[in-house]
Amino acid sequence: MNAMHTVRFSQVDVFSAVPFKGNPLAVVFDADGLDTAQMQAIARWTNLSETTFLLAPDDPEADYRVRIFTTAGELPFAGHPTLGTAYALRESGYRPRRPGRLVQQCGVGLVELAERAHGRWAFAAPPARIAPLPADHRGMLARALGSDAIDAGAAPCTVDNGAPWLLVRMRTAADCLGLRPDDSALAAVTRAAGTSGVAIYGPHAADGPADFEMRCLMTGGDFGFGEDPVTGSANAALACLLEAQGKRPATSYTVRQGTVLERDGRVAIDHDEDGRIWIGGDCVTVIEGRFRCS
């Protein structure tokens, strides 16, 4: 590949209709000519939580194939890249083979996306493996969070839907927002749990801005480090966990995320009559351009 080879890209803000209030995602089009090393180099350069690469599918059921990279490695699945990539593809002029439906091929297999209420698109939450955090790790977790406000009525659990998270419920949204965890101690907890991050959530009051507040703290591995603005995989994991624990508040509910980062991400979760869970939100294009690749 010569130095003048270029590929189109878009930078999309996901889970927000307002630029700079969601989670940014770089989407690289027509990436079949790029190898893994080039994709990883681009993902490191964008320095975003994820960069995706659109490829021709090799499964006849799929509309497209996507590879998802963090600055550190490749993920088999991630939520905001799934929603944002589908949005960027539609915005580029692509028309789904079935109106109102897209099928994405990625590391976890096929993921369905659909146009839901109010024209908002959503992806079907992949199956998740759920396991309670061992009791001897829970004291370590409370010390790492520096809080005694973990909800005793909902055991912390690891939830893996292709992106493994440790989910922890606080008594209130304010308890979630007020956390100032010990990063190194929290990383020790997630390593012991076999995850690369912790998703902390708490319920809002009935008149609050959403049903739940969430924060996702990334503690290494392929996730990288730091707080993620808005996280589709963790919200999909939360929806599966609430269902499994019998704590789903309604058929449809919302999660706010990114507040402490001065973002305002909003995630819509919807359970349909067939038992599928849909994770949706708005997207907006912020940048369009081309990458020059070597």
Q: How far apart are CA 77 and CA 68, in angstroms?
A: 7
Q: Look-up: residue for tokens 């995989």?
A: 233
- Known catalytic residues are 50
Displacement of CA 115 from its chain's centroid (Å): 18
Q: How far apart are CA 207 and CA 169, in angstroms?
A: 20
Angstrom distances, CA of residue 286 to CA of 16, 25, 85, 101, 268: 11, 10, 13, 24, 22
Residue 245, burial from CB neighbour count under 10 angstroms (0-12, 13-18, 19+): middle
